[in-house]
Homo-oligomer: A and B are copies of this chain.
Amino acid sequence: MHTVIALDAMGSDKAPRPEIEGALQAARHHGVRVLLVGPEEQLRADLERYPGARRLPVEIVHASEVITMEDKVDAIRGKRDSSIRVGLRLVREGKAAGFVTAGNTGAAMATAKVVLGALPGVDRPALAAAFPTALNTAAILLDVGANVDCNATNLAQFAVMGDIYCRSIFGKKHPRVGLLSIGEEEGKGNDLTREAFPLLKRLPINFVGNVEGRDLYNGDVDVIVADGFVGNVALKTSEGVARLVRAVLKETLKTTITRQVGAYLSRHAFSDFKKRLDHTEYGGAPLLGIKGVCIITHGSSNTNAIKNAVRVAAEFAEGKVNESIERELAGLSVAVTP
Contact = CB atoms under 8 A, between A and B. Distances in A.
A93 interface: no
A310 B213 CA distance: 28
Interface in A148-181: 148-149, 180-181
Nearest to A215: B240
Interface string A174-203: 000000111101000111010000000000
Interface residues of A, number: 66
Nearest to A133: B244
Contact of A258 (B148, B265, B270): B265
Contacts of A214: 236-237, 239-240, 243
A268 to B, nearest CB: 7
A265 B269 CA distance: 14
A266 interface: yes
Interface in A231-290: 232-245, 247-249, 252-253, 255-256, 258-259, 261-270, 272-273, 276-277
Nearest to A183: B106
B241 A217 contact: yes
Interface string A134-145: 100000000001
A212 interface: yes
Contact of A213 (B190, B237, B264, B268): B237
A205 interface: no
Contacts of A145: 182
Contact of A248 (B233, B248, B262, B273): B273
B148 A182 contact: yes
Contacts of A236: 182, 212-214
Contacts of A56: none
A216 interface: yes
Given A149-B190, A189-B229, 16 more contacts: A106-B183, A212-B233, A216-B240, A217-B240, A217-B244, A226-B233, A229-B230, A238-B238, A241-B245, A242-B245, A244-B277, A252-B269, A252-B272, A253-B269, A259-B269, A262-B265
27 contacts: A134-B247, A148-B182, A180-B233, A182-B229, A193-B229, A213-B232, A213-B233, A213-B236, A213-B240, A214-B237, A217-B240, A217-B241, A218-B240, A226-B233, A233-B234, A234-B234, A238-B240, A241-B242, A242-B245, A249-B269, A253-B266, A258-B268, A259-B265, A259-B268, A261-B262, A261-B265, A262-B267
